[in-house]
Chains A and B, each alone.
Chain A
């Protein structure tokens, strides 16, 4: 579904992404796991086409098409979307309006209600709430996830979907991600928490702008715990094994 080949991104002379190679298969939950500063969010912005994150080299292919030069809107219309780590707030925009923005039929109330219920927000209360500073960080994050659910993308990139949400809700968030997959979305999950990666089909470890390795969740989580927390070396797995 998504192929990334030799992707390189430099910002202000600093290499942020270095020859990233990644494949996300249709229907899977694929996690990018890495410590803070590994370049995970930059990769997400790059994949979505965010301003200032145009790669200097490499190619991003989505559904067989080269999307490297496409705008965010064009990528989104193809079925790719991103839930940002820091959710924006919108004065005067109700949750109903916000959720409907990405929907084909903006008047599909049932779909909007369903999306809110999936993230454990009561539609009766939240449909009319403004997506502004009156919401708590956790509520805003849930609404962000609900808007992705309502859109029903082919591939959803979720950048740290658990940030700002309390520990007790972690299971809820994991269940939401599973539901999204059940409803037909492929998930690219970005996180620094190994507990989040446990629901994945495959995990790619990211460090210092590189994908170190990709494999089954248990192996990669064990590796992450052993070698990445803390990470004193910045070495490739092959170098560590020597």
Chain B
């Protein structure tokens, strides 16, 4: 089997549909370790440069001003062997008035000792839109260490919608560190959903800096942990400008001997700003469980329904 075929199979394991990687209508990029296996550019993307590095790849993506790219861009990053290192450096510029959605699947199906580092620098122009939705699959052995870091700047009236999802298989060790700075009337929405099992170790830090009037943000974190897994979710919002609005919303469900910590940190530097937070940690609500059990499902099935719903 070629590396390309193996990667597309792994892509499916991560929840992606390999057909989209072959579609001429969609831009796509397939990377195994530090090798680029496939790449397609579509109209509306001004620059789509890739460079193979000794330990990974460097990607530069720039959109055309005012161009709305209708179909998502599909990205597939992975490491097929049991061991390895992958470093992904991305520089994304969403030009003024343009719009693009990136759907990334990161897959390490055989991970025993894998390290994946992603460092992203993103600039979203005036009234531009970036959707960045990332789904991970780290295999069943908990042997992955994944460190995504992102710094995002959102210009006047721009919008960022981003989500990180890792709910199938094991997590391993996860360190998310995202920071979004929003200027006047810009909007940032950062969502993370993770399900930790075994001895998985999850650390999520997401920060929104509301530096312009009427800037808005939502940091939403949903984590479920069971067995001996542990999680710490830090949601930070700074309301630095008049009429900026931010909210941090964190729910963590703990089962078995797992441990969870939530640290919402909200700060206002302008008396007209409003930043709020809500955080809840605990076992699954008894009434939720019993309501589902009263429809004939076992306790384990009921837990599964509640957890998967929350992480959806």
Contact = CB atoms under 8 A, between A and B. Distances in A.
Interface in A130-169: 147, 151
Nearest to B285: A88
A51 B286 contact: yes
Contacts of A216: none
Given A72-B290, A93-B305, A81 B295 contact: yes
Nearest to A99: B295
Interface string A78-95: 000110101111111100
Interface in A30-79: 48, 50-51, 71-73, 75-77
A86 B286 CA distance: 12
A92 B295 contact: no
Interface string B273-312: 0000000000001111011111111110010011011111
Interface string B160-196: 0000000000000000000000000000000000000
A51 B294 CA distance: 12
Contacts of A72: 290, 293-294
A90 B302 CA distance: 11
A82 B294 contact: yes
B289 to A, nearest CB: 9
A101 interface: yes
A88 B295 contact: no
Interface residues of B, number: 24
Nearest to B308: A92
Contact of A81 (B286, B294, B310): B294
A71 B293 contact: yes
B310 A91 contact: yes
A216 to B, nearest CB: 30
Interface residues of A, number: 25
Contact of A92 (B286, B296, B299, B309): B309
Interface string B12-25: 00000000000000
B294 A90 contact: no
B142 to A, nearest CB: 25
Nearest to B295: A102
A31 to B, nearest CB: 20
A102 B296 contact: yes
A93 B309 contact: yes
A73 B293 contact: yes
A133 B287 CA distance: 15
Contact of A76 (B222, B286, B295): B295
Contacts of B302: 73
B291 A73 contact: no
Contacts of A84: 287, 290-291, 294
A81 B292 CA distance: 10
Please indicate which of the listed interface residues B290, B293, B305 has the most CB atoms of chain A within 10 Å of its own CB.
B293
Contacts of B290: 48, 50-51, 72, 84
A101 B297 contact: yes
A76 to B, nearest CB: 4
B291 A76 contact: no
B294 A48 contact: yes
A82 B293 CA distance: 10
Contacts of B292: 101
A81 B290 CA distance: 10
Interface string B214-248: 00000000100000000000000000000000000
Interface in A88-126: 88-93, 97, 101-102
Contacts of B306: 90
B310 A92 contact: yes
A75 B310 CA distance: 27
B141 to A, nearest CB: 27
Nearest to A130: B309
Given A77-B296, A101-B297, A87 B291 contact: yes
Given A73-B299, A76-B296, A102-B296, A88 B310 contact: no
Interface of B: 222, 251, 285-288, 290-299, 302, 305-306, 308-312
Given A48-B290, A102-B294, 10 more contacts: A72-B293, A72-B294, A73-B293, A77-B296, A81-B296, A84-B290, A90-B306, A91-B251, A91-B309, A102-B296
9 contacts: A71-B293, A73-B302, A76-B297, A77-B296, A81-B295, A86-B287, A90-B305, A90-B309, A101-B296
Q: State the 10 A-B residue pairs at the shortest beta-carbon distance, nearest first.
A: A102-B295, A92-B309, A92-B312, A93-B309, A76-B296, A72-B293, A88-B288, A88-B287, A101-B295, A88-B291
